[in-house]
Chain A
């Protein structure tokens, strides 16, 4: 059983629109895998189904062999899946370190009484949490930014902070929704290395939605292509680049997402 995540014929509809249609996907433990597809293909919807934001109408999602279909988001988080958002969703008016501390929520215990009387256990727990949070902050390259409000961080750093927050819940599987969106080539390059480090050093399995082909091709062991909610192709970077259906899906729609050029050159 080396598949950490398996989706079986997952279907999600919004009214008449089929955002996902019978999507099968298998994600190997310890892999870095990508989902690509034109705008509105259903990529984010797939993430939302996995993390419990949406309940699919049909199909099943298994995490480490356990059925998590329709589970609430907080329980999914407790099981070990965490994510980032396409349009960064940090707690804007909280500091960077507080954002990470909120991410650690599932592993902390103190509540009302502890907060008021500050018994030794609470004090200890908070101190440890804070240490860990600063460690994570440094890990994602934001050392010294801890006391800044999330909203005051530059864009690239907000993305990193969001990843730090996701890591804070100690996930086994990390879902990244377009982590390099809006970044320049050198920032993108940094992000790619960083994602590889996450897998190599922390052993976290990673599923990425990505638009920039250069990123997808350089990073992922396997690529799944969605179009109109359907899986139209799956395979290695090479296979995808030369797949006529994929080229058709991208070029036919005239989407300037770069796949066309890459494919044409490759």
Chain B
């Protein structure tokens, strides 16, 4: 008796929480916003998923926390949880009829209630909603009672349907560049989402795969070192090839995203030296990016007409400028520590942006109007030269930049200089007592970071052809810092993963544009709670107890993946 009583209380609590989450998502506005973003065309939308998802998740919690073991009781618990959630939703809709919630919550609109009521008349519609909520609970309970193999199949199937459904538009864009292949898949998609038949097919396919794989050992371990080597080089080579053909495979639109992510990787690699290796919190990193871009702009734009250099003539000058700016800023401030350094660099970033914006420098830097008609880079000689103009062409330039910069970063990390940076980061007093000149050491880190950022700036200028002060906001510095933290402080592969996750994913989720930062923030918080060391932490953070006498710490880290 006692048991059942606590189970019901738990069921009620889960139900309330599930309902509350749904209501919260509704009031934020994403339920309404995505009510027409279909996962399966005309069957289930992302908005509906946002209503049902929390309800299902919390019924699952109720079942897991239940003490009862009898299937009937478990189903009952889940139904109670589901119904409770449904009631919470109904309560919101009901309240909305009585008082004007819109005064406080802009999104508590009739549209929302109509979605709740499946676009039916309010009363029968809402009753249907309640029924569905209870049903969701029952289905979840039924699901948990299934044998493991079928559970695995169902969850995998659902996962793929949801992911592919959400990515429908992107997949469509890619398929469009692949005329003949597109025809093969056309029937699976309707209007940027899965067609019902497509969804069933995908569900059966992926679910069936999971069913088949269940309980089977994973791919066999290769033990022969020769084969291992072969496999390693094979994957590396395959990866390289993939990188080279990526823009052709994915098409124009994706290439643009790849370029953007690539620029962030480039700058992330630089800031990682400053923040990750040397432990200097630099919040004004965007300044060097701006200096790189503007140097190219001023030197090459015929609009300003001062120098009319070509991109490649201006390129080394831009790098020198960025490097020097790093040194000049570094000199006075590197004696500061921690918070002070952060504030001063932040200020520096703003100063550069404001200078660029100012009327005073307008004749040279263009003020708010920025600089247009920046020369594109030309590669090759004589007749065989081409101007890199399309996003696909510029991809290779950026890729080359990344390879170079990543190579330098790896080399620096594994050198005496890298050790010195880390020692300073760990304990400055002791490091100095070991004979390390902290000013020179920090300055080198700062200048190298500035140089990399400058390279990013030049490529950015080449990529968009015109630059405006608004491209060099403080937020850029913060974004780069975030991607480093998410990837794992001081980790070079982490920069790639972080940039893909923080810069790439949101670009892919353009539909979510308005709510981008909401998801972004939620993801960041979730990550800091569950994986504070980052997605791909630096190798030495993973070091555990180790074997006998080891060879030199020549961590062979296959330089960069992806761009």
Contact = CB atoms under 8 A, between A and B. Distances in A.
A206 B29 CA distance: 72
B416 A118 contact: no
B112 interface: no
Contact-residue size bin, chain A (C-beta under 8 Å from the other chain): 35 or more
Nearest to A103: B434
Contacts of A203: none
B101 to A, nearest CB: 52
A136 B9 CA distance: 64
A108 B549 contact: no
A83 B426 contact: no
Interface string A89-117: 10111110110011101101011101110
Given A127-B552, A147-B550, A102 B433 contact: no
Interface centre among B541, B545, B547, B550 (most CB of A within 10 A): B550
A85 B430 contact: yes
A89 B411 contact: no
B423 interface: yes
Interface stretch (A13-21, A38-46, A72-80): A72-80
A144 B435 contact: no
A118 B429 CA distance: 29
A130 interface: yes
A105 B422 contact: no
Contact of B422 (A73, A91, A165): A91
A111 B416 contact: yes
B543 A95 contact: yes
A201 to B, nearest CB: 22
A149 interface: yes
Interface string A46-86: 00000111000000000000000000111011100011010
Interface in B370-425: 408, 411-412, 415-420, 422-423
A134 B551 CA distance: 10
Interface string B537-549: 0001101111111
B476 to A, nearest CB: 26
B553 interface: yes
Given A89-B427, A127-B552, A143-B549, A101 B433 contact: no
The dominant DSSP class at the B interface is: helix
B182 interface: no
B418 A115 contact: yes
A216 B434 CA distance: 27
A152 B545 contact: yes
A150 B460 CA distance: 42
Contacts of A83: 433
Contacts of B408: 116
B558 interface: no
Given A94-B426, A147-B546, A53 B553 contact: no
Given A102-B419, A149-B543, A130 B552 contact: yes
A108 B437 CA distance: 13
Contacts of B429: 53, 73, 89
B444 interface: yes
B433 A77 contact: yes
Nearest to A97: B553
A169 interface: yes
B20 interface: no
Nearest to B422: A94
A202 interface: no
A146 interface: yes
B478 interface: no
B426 A148 contact: no
Nearest to B545: A148
Contacts of B444: 111-112
Contacts of B541: 93
B433 A147 contact: no
B540 A73 contact: no
B432 to A, nearest CB: 5
A101 B419 CA distance: 8
Contact of A102 (B411, B412, B420): B420
A114 B444 CA distance: 13
Contacts of A52: 433
B132 interface: no
A149 B538 CA distance: 13
Contacts of B437: 74
Contact of A126 (B416, B423, B427, B543): B416
Interface string A145-188: 11111001000000000000100010000000000000000000
B92 interface: no
A74 B435 contact: yes
A106 B417 contact: no
B264 to A, nearest CB: 23
B76 to A, nearest CB: 50
B270 to A, nearest CB: 14
Contacts of A102: 419-420, 423, 431, 434, 436
A110 B416 contact: yes
A64 B184 CA distance: 86
Contact of A89 (B419, B430, B546, B553): B430
Given A106-B435, A122-B415, 9 more contacts: A53-B429, A102-B434, A106-B434, A118-B411, A127-B552, A147-B553, A148-B543, A152-B545, A169-B434
Interface of A: 51-53, 72-74, 76-78, 82-83, 85, 89, 91-95, 97-98, 101-103, 105-106, 108, 110-112, 114-116, 118, 122, 126-127, 129-130, 134, 143-149, 152, 165, 169
Shortest 6 CB-CB contacts between residues of A and residues of B:
A115-B415, A91-B426, A106-B435, A73-B433, A77-B435, A147-B546
23 contacts: A72-B432, A93-B422, A94-B422, A94-B426, A95-B553, A98-B419, A102-B431, A102-B434, A102-B436, A105-B420, A108-B416, A110-B415, A110-B417, A111-B417, A112-B448, A115-B418, A122-B415, A144-B547, A144-B550, A147-B553, A152-B543, A152-B544, A169-B435
Interface of B: 408, 411-412, 415-420, 422-423, 426-427, 429-437, 444, 448, 540-541, 543-550, 552-553
